[in-house]
Chains A and B, each alone.
Chain A
Amino acid sequence: MSTQTVLTDLATRGEDALVGYFPAGYPTSADSIEACVAMCEAGIDVLELGVPYSDPVMDGLVIQVATELALANGFKLSNFFETLKAITSRVSTPVLVMSYWNPILQYGVRRFAEDLKAAGATGLITPDLIPDEAGEWLKISDELNLDRVFLATPSSSTKRLEQVASVSRGFIYAVSTMGITGAREDLDAKARAVVAGVKATGTKVPVCVGIGISSSDQVNEVNSYADGAIVGSVFIKAYRDGGIEKLRNVVQELKAGN
């Protein structure tokens, strides 16, 4: 099922949607496969598989440390697609790849898109690529019918929100607050405004909210006005501190608010 269908169906049924991030290769490729499969089995609705990168400017310390470890342990794009395929072959959850732009650029945008599709992913989330710079990717993702998730933020103008809404497919990543990834206790009220702004463009593309979400109450709250909550750092912490079991429990706990 497409990402958009999954999210829309959940919304229609009045159920909360949970998008979960985990970095490929953390702490090793084999471990990340098991962790991602466990997250899907435990109830996440969309998986966001991260490509570790040397200069992750949108990420807080938890994800930085995890992706640095993945790189130190030998993460390579040459085996990333095997990792991806190993996950997609075991779950029916839609899997999107989250990557900073330079690894994709070096691998080749078309080659990356084709390999990603062949490995069963539905598309890409590009945190440091704005639609203005995305010409090649827009063209190729149209050709291959891949999801492309762009960011909408509290500081985005109406014009930019319209642009983001018009080119995004799968979902739109609404940044809940001004800042980088990492759990925050008080979810910014700005999140509601961003979602409202995106919805006001009349888009049918689901809007999910990420950055700073760490509790089932927050997942619930976000789902009351958006089409899904995106969680990353909390899952990495859970895995770091308690392995697969803890990860599974935290996914279930965040999902349980339903």
Chain B
Amino acid sequence: MTENTSLKAQNGPYFGEYGGRFVPESLIAALDELEATYEIAKTDPTFIKELDELNKNYVGRPSIITEVPKFAALAGDIRVFLKREDLNHTGSHKINNVIGQALLTKRMGKTRIIAETGAGQHGVASATAAALFGLECVVYMGEVDTERQALNVARMKLLGAEVIPVTTGSRTLKDAINEALRDWVTNVDNTHYLLGTVAGPHPFPTMVRDFHSVIGTEAREQMLVDYGFLPDVVAACVGGGSNAIGLFHAFLDDDAVKLWGFEAAGEGMNTLKHAATLSKGKVGVLHGAKSYLLQDEDGQTVESHSISAGLDYPGVGPEHSWLKDLNRAQYFGISDDEAMQALKALSQTEGIIPAIETAHALAGVIKHGSELPSGSSILLNLSGRGDKDMETVGKYFGFLGNKK
């Protein structure tokens, strides 16, 4: 590819017509400061060295790749490779971005971070970084999610963070972001909003992607060095889209590599109870960026539904909307039940318990892997581990009695 057509080189604020800064004027100075700080930091050898060392000695990077032949057999005659982000410190990919932004927070001289969280993984990662760097930390979490992810609430509190249940709106991730934005507007002088996904106003979609791009950069290299080829498909689950873009980014200019994103279809793509933003949404503005979103004809955000708190979001990062329109990536819906069956399948065939979010990508591989020619290979981002989900899983499969 020539430099002009490189998809990898796209750095915002716009991805095609998507992205931008649709936020109150009150936040513009903070976004400008963040962008300027990040632009300097990302080429500053001191910053790069510090980030690399933390990734190596605190997060545990590089994460390994595990081939899972027994699981792959469920999808046909293909090979499946897992990029093991579940083995990172705190148990998911979320820590990659959090460490980067926490370093930027220190650079900006701010002393307090706020974060939104759905599944609690980003909240836990943020609380972890706050403890490590000595920052005050407040995490906004929808009241519904504090109930279904109670263990992560306990983890955040143990780490010294304050967890504020959000009781307005649908009481899930979308409303947690609203509340975090309100806090940020009010306390922007000393506070950094440590946004946990590739959504939000510029520079977040680009910056968060960059901090997660280590996933794909490592994985691409590992595939070439350890196996001698690039995968035919790279796959990931998509809520806001951070783990997916983290894996996809290194492969954007490898035209032969297909990109598959799997959204939460909840109770089904033909019901109203899903979170399949790219498949079923329309273009609009939410949380500071233009992108696909689930909305009614008046532009009111529609509540999303998913068994997975981390995918239960009616928006998606603008770069995914752009990749969809370009047909560079394909996005599919995976129902609650398909995800839960895949979660069980990976656990029982390979002894790896994935997060419910991640299980959507695993189900997608089972569902669509058989469409690939014999001998094809899929690299999947195993974005998080399932420990946090044991209550939901236990209830779903009747391991905790007969409740479903």
A144 proximal to B (CB < 8 A): no
Closest B residue to A132 by beta carbon equals B21
Q: State how many residues of chain A have any CB contact under 8 Å with chain B.
A: 40
In the bound complex, CA of A76 to CA of B24 (Å): 24
Contact A130 B286, beta carbon cutoff 8 Å: no
Contact B188 A68, beta carbon cutoff 8 Å: no
A224 proximal to B (CB < 8 A): no
Name the contact of A106 in the complex, choosing from B21, B30, B299 (C-beta under 8 A). B299
Contact B298 A157, beta carbon cutoff 8 Å: no
- Which residues of A have CB within 8 Å of B288? 128
B168 proximal to A (CB < 8 A): yes
B344 proximal to A (CB < 8 A): no
Closest B residue to A52 by beta carbon equals B300
Interface size class of B (residues with CB under 8 A): 35 or more
Extra contacts, 11 of them, besides A102-B286, A103-B298, A104-B299 (Cβ < 8 A), are A54-B169, A57-B181, A58-B182, A68-B168, A68-B169, A71-B300, A77-B299, A106-B299, A128-B23, A155-B29, A160-B28
A105 proximal to B (CB < 8 A): yes
- Which residues of B have CB within 8 Å of A76? 298
Name the contact of B286 in the complex, choosing from A55, A61, A129 (C-beta under 8 A). A55
Contact with A along B137-159 (1 / 0, CB 8 A): 00000000000000000000000
- Which residues of A have CB within 8 Å of B286? 55, 102
B221 proximal to A (CB < 8 A): no
Secondary structure call for the B interface: mixed
- Which residues of A have CB within 8 Å of B30? 155
Contact B25 A164, beta carbon cutoff 8 Å: yes
In the bound complex, CA of A60 to CA of B185 (Å): 11
Q: List 5 A-B contacts (CB under 8 A).
A: A54-B301, A102-B284, A153-B25, A175-B26, A179-B185
In the bound complex, CA of A107 to CA of B300 (Å): 11
- Which residues of B have CB within 8 Å of A105? 284-285, 299
B11 proximal to A (CB < 8 A): no
In the bound complex, CA of A194 to CA of B162 (Å): 33
Tell me which residues from 1 to 47 in chain B have a Cβ below 8 Å from any Cβ of chain A: 20-26, 28-30, 32
Contact with B along A123-162 (1 / 0, CB 8 A): 0000111101100000000000000001111011100100
In the bound complex, CA of A155 to CA of B33 (Å): 11
- Which residues of A have CB within 8 Å of B32? 157
Given A54-B169, A103-B300, A106-B297, are A178 and B24 neighbors across the interface (CB < 8 Å)? no
Contact B298 A130, beta carbon cutoff 8 Å: no
Contact with A along B269-301 (1 / 0, CB 8 A): 000000000000010111110000001011111
B-side residues, CB < 8 A to A, are 20-26, 28-30, 32, 168-169, 174-175, 178, 181-182, 185-189, 282, 284-288, 295, 297-301
- Which residues of A have CB within 8 Å of B300? 53-54, 71, 103
A11 proximal to B (CB < 8 A): no
In the bound complex, CA of A180 to CA of B28 (Å): 15
Contact B169 A58, beta carbon cutoff 8 Å: no
A225 proximal to B (CB < 8 A): no
Closest B residue to A75 by beta carbon equals B298
Given A102-B295, A103-B299, are A178 and B20 neighbors across the interface (CB < 8 Å)? no
Whole-angstrom distance between the Cβ of A165 and the nearest chain B Cβ:
12
In the bound complex, CA of A169 to CA of B189 (Å): 30
Closest A residue to B25 by beta carbon equals A151
Contact B25 A152, beta carbon cutoff 8 Å: yes
Give 8 nearest A-B pairs by CB, closest first.
A106-B299, A155-B29, A103-B299, A151-B25, A102-B299, A179-B186, A54-B301, A54-B300
Name the contact of B285 in the complex, choosing from A61, A102, A132 (C-beta under 8 A). A102
In the bound complex, CA of A108 to CA of B324 (Å): 23
Contact B28 A130, beta carbon cutoff 8 Å: yes
Contact A77 B298, beta carbon cutoff 8 Å: yes
In the bound complex, CA of A68 to CA of B303 (Å): 14
Contact A106 B189, beta carbon cutoff 8 Å: no
Contact A133 B20, beta carbon cutoff 8 Å: yes
Closest A residue to B168 by beta carbon equals A64
Most buried by A among B20, B187, B282, B286: B286
Most buried by A among B25, B30, B297: B25
Given A71-B300, A105-B284, A107-B299, are A178 and B189 neighbors across the interface (CB < 8 Å)? yes
Name the contact of B186 in the complex, choosing from A64, A106, A132, A178 (C-beta under 8 A). A178
In the bound complex, CA of A53 to CA of B284 (Å): 13
Contact A160 B301, beta carbon cutoff 8 Å: no
